[in-house]
Amino acid sequence: MVESKAIIRYVRISPRRARDVIRLIQGKTAEEALNILTFTPKKAAAIALRVLRSAISNATNKDKEAKVEDLIVTDSYVGQGPVLKRSHSRAMGRVNMILRRTSHICIVLGEKNGTKS
């Protein structure tokens, strides 16, 4: 059984926004996930599309007999990366903190059940 994964780290998008997009493709076939991400109008969709294409490439390079039609998104998750802290000046000498969140996005592909490995 072929299992491959791809990870992109330190992406400048909040994990909460990225999780909304990643949930769309969980459990779908690789082709269906490509279509979903291509037509989803969010910044996280373009990033996840890059990661999915990388995972597909990893699977086909790992096992030369693996086909895109037989791959399925078995696991996908978004972890929180480091937070960049910025300050914003306010009235009377006070400061508000601005948190620029980062994400680590991981997509794992496996073969469908019932296919020859």
Q: Domain 3-111 in CATH: superfamily? A: Ribosomal protein L22/L17 (3.90.470.10)
Structure confidence at residue 117 (pLDDT): 46
Distance CA 12, CA 102 (A): 5
pLDDT tens digit sequence for 49-104? 999 999 999 999 988 778 888 899 999 999 999 999 999 999 999 999 999 999 99
Distance CA 64, CA 69 (A): 14
Summary mean pLDDT of the chain:
92
Name the helix (H) or strand (E) containing 103. Answer: strand 103-111
Structure confidence at residue 1 (pLDDT): 61
Residue % of the chain over a pLDDT of 90: 82
Structure confidence at residue 113 (pLDDT): 76
Domains of the chain by residue range: 3-111
Q: Mutual orientation of helices 30-38 and 43-62 as an angle, nearest 10°?
A: 150
CA distances from 41 to 7, 12, 15, 47, 90 (A): 22, 17, 17, 12, 34
Q: Residue range 33-54: average pLDDT?
A: 96
